[in-house]
Amino acid sequence: MNLCVVGAQWGDEGKGKIVDLLTAHFAVVARYQGGHNAGHTVFVGGQKFVLHLIPSGILHRGVICLIGNGVVVDPHALFSEVDQLTGLGIDVSGRLFVSDKAHVILPYHRELDVLSEARRGERKIGTTSRGIGPAYEDKVGRRGVRVGDLADQSNNGALASAVRENVDARNRLVGNTDMKWQDVLADLRTLWPRLRPLVADTSLYLHKAIKDGRAIMFEGAQGTLLDIDHGTYPFVTSSNGTAGGAATGLGIGPSQVGAVLGVAKAYTTRVGAGPLPTELLGAMGERLRESGQEYGASTGRPRRCGWFDAVAVRYAARVNGLSSLAITKLDVLDGLDELQVCTAYKCGSEILTEMPGDTAQLEACQPVYERLPGWTRPTRGITRYTELPAEAQQYIARLEEISGVPASIVSTGSERDHTIIRDPSLVIGEGPSAIDKPSMHR
């Protein structure tokens, strides 16, 4: 069974850990959107790995990892990540491939990202300023540079022409000529020999793998509420992080996606600007942030924290067609006397049980809460569902009920084996399991 793993909130839900946990069941892990603005943090044997472009499946020996055409790639960031993994004993040679159709992030993209954000003033999006948005703008504007284009080494070819035109446009916009197109082109030519062995037709690779019956896991980067079409626009990323993006971002048919696993924290977080109805600005918000170490893996920025938003997760279930949920960071709620869950929004005199499309309206909404008892006994590291405190089981059952999706996985800590697999059939099918046996208790 193929599986698509998506974020069911505003990103940072713990997708990296879940992908790493499940990779043992899959031959290929394929990333389909985003850039190195994403940050997936994985802990294995006490070692911390922070991945930005490379799929989390790279930590498993023998698994093939693909970066699809829907991703925008900064070659310098990619090689930095490869070097870091190599230094930590992870060999990526022969296991990592990049689509020849993926677009390249170039120096002027990063600069234009900073300029665009500054011009927004108080309405800043909160981007990572790594050139992601401008690279996607060039892609949609049909003036981008693709990975496969770097093979053109001629001085008068299409690559040189595209770089020259784009740098000239940058210079006119910025008002100076300190960036030389020849320097940008020379840098790309320096990168190409190292990049060339990684370049592949990843769509064809996936087609053959699926035809051969090999199981594929599709990995999204940002969360559903950051999707360019379905998120809280304009406070979103520049690509489709929802499950539909797997088809366009990898060159496969929608029927080949398979099951869809939504990852959601036991509470809610968001990085950057934009609406967050359940945000807690006082001591409780700080408690969640510090207990959950809620700081961006890519930027280190503190995340905004709040109670679980069931309206948002129900919306994610609808637009992704979620088969099940992975509830992460349950242990962060340990020791709280009372928990709250947002079941609806109050907007003026109106009660909304579905996510409004108008972001301004969402910003004006107030959460309608349901109170649930907390628990004092620690859950960290528990691998059997029946060993959870009764109140924790009650909390998970209520999240399932109000989101309309069963929780097949519950994460109780940062380590790979700090996990409860309640229903393996929802994420890996009915075949034999290769997940570590201590975490396989229902």
CA distances from 340 to 309, 337, 379 (A): 9, 10, 18
The answer to whether 270 and 236 have CB atoms below 8 angstroms apart is no
**Which of the residues 12, 20, 74, 149 is marked catalytic?**
12
- C-alpha count within 13 angstroms, C-beta hemisphere, residue 246: 28
Q: Give the integer Cα–Cα distance in Å for 327 and 372.
A: 17
The answer to whether 68 and 32 have CB atoms below 8 angstroms apart is yes
Query: C-alpha 298: how far from its chain's center?
Result: 12
441 included as an active-site residue = no
Q: Are strands 304-306 and 268-270 parallel, antiparallel or unpaired?
A: antiparallel
Is residue 409 packed enough to be buried (19+ CB in 10 Å), middle (13-18) or exposed (0-12)? buried
Q: Which residues share a beta bridge with 347?
A: 350
Supply the angle between the helices 158-174 and 181-195 in degrees, to the nearest 10: 130
Phi-psi region of 12 (alpha: psi -120 to 50; beta: other; left: phi over 0): left
Amino acid at 314: R
Backbone φ and ψ for 407, nearest 5 degrees, come out as -95, 105
Torsion angle in degrees (nearest 10) through CA of 212, 213, 214, 220: 110
Q: Tokens representing 162? A: 């595209």
Q: What is the largest CA-CA distance in the chain?
A: 70
Q: Which residue has the tokens 């990995």?
A: 219
Amino acid at 245: G
Q: Give the integer Cα–Cα distance in Å for 209 and 213.
A: 6
**How many angstroms separate the first and last alpha carbons of the chain?**
20
Q: Which residue has the tokens 């048919």?
A: 253
The answer to whether 25 and 428 have CB atoms below 8 angstroms apart is yes
**Which of the residues 20, 25, 36, 40 is marked catalytic?**
40
334 included as an active-site residue = no
- H helices within 327-405, ranges in order? 359-364, 390-403
For 171, other C-beta atoms within 10 Å of its C-beta total 16
Could you list the active site residues? 12, 40
